[in-house]
Amino acid sequence: MKMHVLQGLGLRRRTGVHPPARKLTRARAIEHMPLPSKVILPLQQHIGACAKAVVKRGDEVKVGQVIAESDGFVSAPIHATISGTVKQVTTIASPITGQPVPAIIIESDGKDEWIELVPADPKNLSNEQILTRIQNAGIVGMGGATFPTHVKLNPPPQKHIHTVIVNGAECEPYITADDRLMLEETDKIIAGIKIAMQVLSVTRAHIAIEDNKPRAIERMRKTLAQLSPPERITVVAVPSRYPMGAEKTLVKSILHVEVPEGGLPMDVGAVVQNVATLAAISDAVTLGKPLVERVVTVAGRVSEPKNLLARFGTAASSLIELCGEPDTSVDQVIFGGPMMGIAQPTYDSPIIKGTNCVLLTRSDFRDEHSCIRCGRCIDSCPMGLMPLMFVNCDKKGEYEALPDYHIANCVECGACAYSCPANIPLVSYIKNGKTELRKRGIK
């Protein structure tokens, strides 16, 4: 009998890896960046349909003004992040995919003029009104997935949601944006949790924080203890193991159930939201504030790593300049962490909604060797898969066999590649395999 997955074989407790944390900015308070002189705003900053521009060259805009409307159910609007003049509607390489995407360039007038914000009390709003505010604010998953939040908080009626899981794991090395947010914006995050619970009609939430963040755990617990009346919100210290922050890993760790293959957390009654997303929900619902900025960790080979509150569309080089001179060996800038981050073609790539880190590194290209069948990729896979089989199928062109090994369950976390002594770029092979399956219409 073929054994394509290792579920039930007692190996799940050993899954995941432990890369050096390198959380050099955990004690660095969030700093507000100076306003950029211009921003470049890609219209594809989310999973789903690209937003459609509604401004043209020469238009004057204010902060928070919609400059691109969502163009589909799974989509999100884009807002001006500075006040000034639209200089160009153009095309750039996407910081996410590298593919050409439309973008709007705005030149600042230095005034930082905002649209009029309309505050509201969530208790006086219907679920539909709350979802509309979240949608109009352009909120997407800020842990990196960038799935439109109003869609996620509006599951199909046949899905019975009973739990909100708050993702405060932040398991990637270097990144401390969420850690600092939990320390400095605790009340705002909890307000966002309560709004999510309200709109989903659930009475239970768990805040998952890796146990290497004791201050965040303590701060959250202390703040929750002061709530009156108390809420059914608990803080769960989860093991510091990569990729603990993956949705399916969190669901397994918190609820002790597995998300079915090809399914989502909602299939087992859970909705997972990142802490930064929840803070943005609070701003959108209570203040009427669109999503125009986020906390970004700047780390790696810089002299003074920091956590910066930066407007979307700001060039990475502007953030880097605030962190001192980079190491002379730096030849690569990555958006995200070293495990799942995306290398950028230029230091001037604009930060977007899903950019939680700007990481400066030295590229480490190693020769790929033949698989030695050590099984480390299998031991490290959080989904209980056999990554080596994906590589074999890809190299032989046997793409139709990939579904037999459950490639759809791969979350592309990179734990397998990190563990591989043969330096095989397993994630690259996996992504190629998934692309070939889509081309062939194979599920």
Of 374, 404, 394, whose CA–CA distance to 435 is shortest? 394
- pLDDT of 9 reads 33
Of 370, 340, 375, whose CA–CA distance to 357 is shortest? 340
- Exposure class string for 222-249: b at 16+ Cβ within 10 A, else e: ebbeeeeeeeebebbbbebbbbbbbbbb
Of 368, 345, 370, 343, whose CA–CA distance to 358 is shortest? 343
- pLDDT of 4 reads 41
- pLDDT of 144 reads 85
177 and 104 belong to one structural domain? no
Is the dihedral angle over the CA atoms 362, 365, 366, 372 positive or is it negative?
Answer: positive
φ, ψ of residue 270 to 5 degrees: the values are: -125, 150
**Tokens 């789903």, residue?**
48
Kindly report the CATH number assigned to the domain that includes residue 98: 3.10.20.600
411 and 297 belong to one structural domain? no
The burial class, CB within 10 Å (0-12 / 13-18 / 19+), for 363 is exposed
41 and 106 belong to one structural domain? yes
Residue 205, in any domain of the structure: yes
83 and 156 belong to one structural domain? no
Boundary-marking domain end, from 287, 322, 350: 287
341 and 404 belong to one structural domain? no
Domain of 308, in residue numbers: 33-115+291-361
Residue 23, in any domain of the structure: no
Kindly report the CATH number assigned to the domain that includes residue 164: 3.40.50.11540
Number of domain units in the chain? 3
Could you list the mean pLDDT of each consecutive 10-residue stretch along the chain, which spans 443 residues? 37 72 97 98 96 98 98 95 98 93 98 98 97 98 94 96 98 98 98 97 97 97 90 95 94 94 94 98 98 98 97 97 90 95 95 97 90 94 94 95 94 95 95 93 84
Residue 3, in any domain of the structure: no
Boundary-marking domain end, from 287, 305, 328: 287
- pLDDT of 218 reads 98
158 and 272 belong to one structural domain? yes
- With both helix axes pointing from N to C terminus, report the angle between 186-200 and 275-282 in degrees, rounded to the nearest 10: 80
Residue 1, in any domain of the structure: no
100 and 154 belong to one structural domain? no
Local structure of residue 283 (DSSP, 8 states): I
160 and 277 belong to one structural domain? yes
Residue 321, in any domain of the structure: yes
- Exposure class string for 25-50: b at 16+ Cβ within 10 A, else e: bbebebeebebbebbbbbbbbbbbbb
338 and 422 belong to one structural domain? no
Residue 212, in any domain of the structure: yes
Boundary-marking domain end, from 270, 287, 304: 287
Residue 7, in any domain of the structure: no
Distance CA 415, CA 15 (A): 9
Give the global pTM: 0.94
252 and 320 belong to one structural domain? no
